[in-house]
Structure 1
Amino acid sequence: MTSTHRPRDLGLPKPRIKATRDGQGFVPLTEKVKSPITKPPQSPNSNGGDPKLPPIKAPLPLLSLSQSPQPIRLHLPLSNKKKQSQTIHGLSEFPSSVQTEDSMAETEISPVLQEPRHVVRKFQARPQHEGDGAVVRRSIGRFELKYFDPFLVLDEFSVAAPAGFPDHPHRGFETVTYMLEGAVMHEDFEGHKGTIKAGDLQWMTAGRGIVHSEMPAGPGISKGLQLWVNLSSTNKMIEPRYQEIQSSDIACMAKDGVEVRVIAGESMGVQSPVYTRTPTMYLDFKVRQSAHLRQPIPATWNSFVYVLEGEGVFGSERTAPVGPHHLLLLGQGDGLEVWNKCSKPLRFVLIGGEPLGEPVAQLGPFVMNTEEEIDRTIDDFQFYVNGFEKAKHWRSEGMGGL
């Protein structure tokens, strides 16, 4: 949710950055990476950037389950048990009674983990101003953590009209907007527009280029999470595309005091319809008092937790509880254990992804692999070419466009 001025005054932040080889920091672009970055072996379920989705024509289509160009591939192992899901409506309201799968064995919902992940780093996201008068709590993409491969940014945003995120560009990655409260109106230069309401998900692939706006819809405060997922070098210049999932279509499951909404990937025997070009899991958990959760995570993936409500114990039962707005980076292992020892429900998101292992060059809303590619992207945006042609005469309705 980065906003810039119209060209030629980009208003982009400096300095440019590159990711270090461990994917957890940055060095100035003037410094050399001393050894080549190699991509880790792909997991058996990884798509490696395939399939090659067909180009889109204006307006940008929504990629629904029925419209998917080919069967959606998931990147987490699925159980063979019958899967049931219960739709969830609204903000942070997990329903008081959610369908459960009684036939599912306890070991499948809470499997024994051979090597549980532990918290290796923790910090609290503090408010900062972004866009036009909006406030975000940024936990990834800040000074302490510039990059956590493959994740570029995680913002918990809170915005009320007239503040928001007016017309701004993106290239080279995906934005994942998950609404917690209120609604955001989205509009882009291809003519796609709509409202993302509480509980809804928008997975936008910026690819070779998109210019859009994100503004609060209606009175009151709109809150949500926006995650930026990096794309591999082979996918950075693909055509833009959307996947939009309404709250009622997000799969969920509950058992033994643990409820989950599956934004991407799979948990507790239910799976998301979202196709992830960069293999990703995104799970929204609510854990009741005294409940205990075990969630598998592919061993080669990076993962983290962001706490939304309540307090929880993560990784080791002997550690202190962690409260809202904290980001927890997880170490290596095959899954995460969580305990709620407090009287109030705990709500958090668990996000993981397969590292790309590629260089990262970033200038504001543009994310490529090299400084030269960033320079070309700036030229493309300023001169309205190579994906930005329609930006020349487009303004969102909020900026006085038609």
Structure 2
Amino acid sequence: MSETQEIPIFLQKPRRVVRKFLARPQHEGNGAIVRRNIGRYELKYFDPFLVLDEFSVATPAGFPDHPHRGFETVTYVLEGAIKHEDFEGHVGILRTGDLQWMTAGRGIVHSEMPLGSGISKGLQLWINLSSNNKMIEPKYQEMKREEIMTASTTDINVRVIAGEAMGVQSPVYTRTPTMCLDFTLMPSAHLRQSINPMWNSFAYILQGEGIFGTEKSDPIGPHNLLLLGHGDGIDVWNRSIRPLRFVLVGGEPLGEPVAQFGPFVMNSDEEIDQTINDFNLCINGFEKAKHWRSTELMGS
């Protein structure tokens, strides 16, 4: 990780925490445990974000063959390994620190299953696509741990998954303009990070506890989702004796109607009905789903 000089950032209107959710474990997929933040009853959509899950899964549980259409999925492995397969023949393994930015577009059927005997953990974020992009061809952007751009000062580390921080720019192309930053703050550290004032943004705490928005706020601990109000950036302090790790995410709102049926996200009920029909008949992007099964299911 490169050592960089801290770049002074001056915020005219720092963002404050306007809502807070503690993500509680729930079952998802085939025996997997997730802490769902966005996409839950209290917060079904936070434009342009559809779902944020912190997942924990061990063999034989996982996320076997399932479809997507109309959005992107960002899978970021925190611990362990996840094997990915799809009906286009794309196969890969994501290990600790690896990233997969998948554009489902007009249609993907894939599986995501843990490897090894231990527990695999990570984050998965669903980002909505505009109506102009919902039916584009599927595409992947994948990066190994060592390929993700990083920067550090004496007390702050950042992995720049998307967007920019501390003078470092991620090469990931985001069809819906998005920033995604993995920060670690040492004890007594103070972070000031700019955020596009027109974007929605949130923080999700992975480890430790921090003070977000204003020094007078109470410290907030792990598994909390923090929705941030309007402003041009965020202040974060670590007043504890342990490191604080969190992801900071922001995105440009699409301002379009959302129609969702499970793994399909379109703009109208009619488009959802068409998507269900396409999937059932294996047409209009789902042709290869007719005869494809992942190796996990083929071997069962």
Q: What range describes the TM-score normalised by the shorter chain of this pair?
A: over 0.9
1:186–1:195 Cα contact (<8 Å) kept: yes
Alpha-carbon distance between aligned partners in 2 of 1:401 and 1:110, rounded to the nearest angstrom: 55
Alpha-carbon distance between aligned partners in 1 of 2:245 and 2:10, rounded to the nearest angstrom: 22
Residues 1:360 and 2:258 aligned together? yes
Report the 3-state secondary structure (helix = DSSP H, G, I; strand = E; otherwise coil) of the residue aligned with 1:207: coil
* Shift in Å, 1:219: 1.3
> Partner of 1:100 in structure 2?
3
Alpha-carbon distance between aligned partners in 1 of 2:163 and 2:8, rounded to the nearest angstrom: 16
> Partner of 1:184 in structure 2?
82
Report the 3-state secondary structure (helix = DSSP H, G, I; strand = E; otherwise coil) of the residue aligned with 2:175: coil
> Partner of 2:152 in structure 1?
254
Report the 3-state secondary structure (helix = DSSP H, G, I; strand = E; otherwise coil) of the residue aligned with 1:158: strand
Alpha-carbon distance between aligned partners in 1 of 2:299 and 2:209, rounded to the nearest angstrom: 45
Q: Deviations over 1:152-179 (max 9, x none)?
A: 0000000000000000000000000000
Report the 3-state secondary structure (helix = DSSP H, G, I; strand = E; otherwise coil) of the residue aligned with 2:15: coil
Residues 1:370 and 2:273 aligned together? no
The amino acid of 2:29's aligned partner reads G
The amino acid of 1:303's aligned partner reads S
Residues 1:380 and 2:278 aligned together? yes
* Shift in Å, 1:110: 3.7
Q: What percent of counterpart residues are identical?
A: 72
Q: Give the gaps of 5 or more residues in structure 1.
A: 1-85, 87-98
Alpha-carbon distance between aligned partners in 1 of 2:106 and 2:100, rounded to the nearest angstrom: 18
Pair 1:154–1:393, CA change in 2 (3 A): same
What is the aligned residue count? 300
Report the 3-state secondary structure (helix = DSSP H, G, I; strand = E; otherwise coil) of the residue aligned with 1:375: helix
**Which one of the candidate residues 182, 205, 208 is aligned to 2:106?**
208
Query: CA RMSD of the aligned region, Å?
Result: 1.0
The amino acid of 1:100's aligned partner reads E
* Shift in Å, 1:401: 6.6
Report the 3-state secondary structure (helix = DSSP H, G, I; strand = E; otherwise coil) of the residue aligned with 1:281: strand
Q: Give the gaps of 5 or more residues in structure 2.
A: none
Residues 1:318 and 2:216 aligned together? yes
Alpha-carbon distance between aligned partners in 2 of 1:377 and 1:142, rounded to the nearest angstrom: 23
1:170–1:210 Cα contact (<8 Å) kept: yes
Larger radius of gyration: 1
Alpha-carbon distance between aligned partners in 1 of 2:88 and 2:145, rounded to the nearest angstrom: 25
Residues 1:226 and 2:129 aligned together? no
> Partner of 2:289 in structure 1?
391
Pair 1:154–1:125, CA change in 2 (3 A): same
Runs of 4+ in structure 1 over 3 Å off: none
The amino acid of 1:334's aligned partner reads D
Q: Deviations over 1:83-103 (max 9, x none)?
A: xxx2xxxxxxxxxxxx2124x
Report the 3-state secondary structure (helix = DSSP H, G, I; strand = E; otherwise coil) of the residue aligned with 2:12: coil
Alpha-carbon distance between aligned partners in 2 of 1:401 and 1:162, rounded to the nearest angstrom: 12
> Partner of 2:136 in structure 1?
238
1:159–1:223 Cα contact (<8 Å) kept: yes
Residues 1:138 and 2:36 aligned together? yes
* Shift in Å, 1:271: 1.0
1:137–1:155 Cα contact (<8 Å) kept: yes
> Partner of 1:68 in structure 2?
none
> Partner of 1:330 in structure 2?
228
TM-score, normalization by structure 2? 0.99
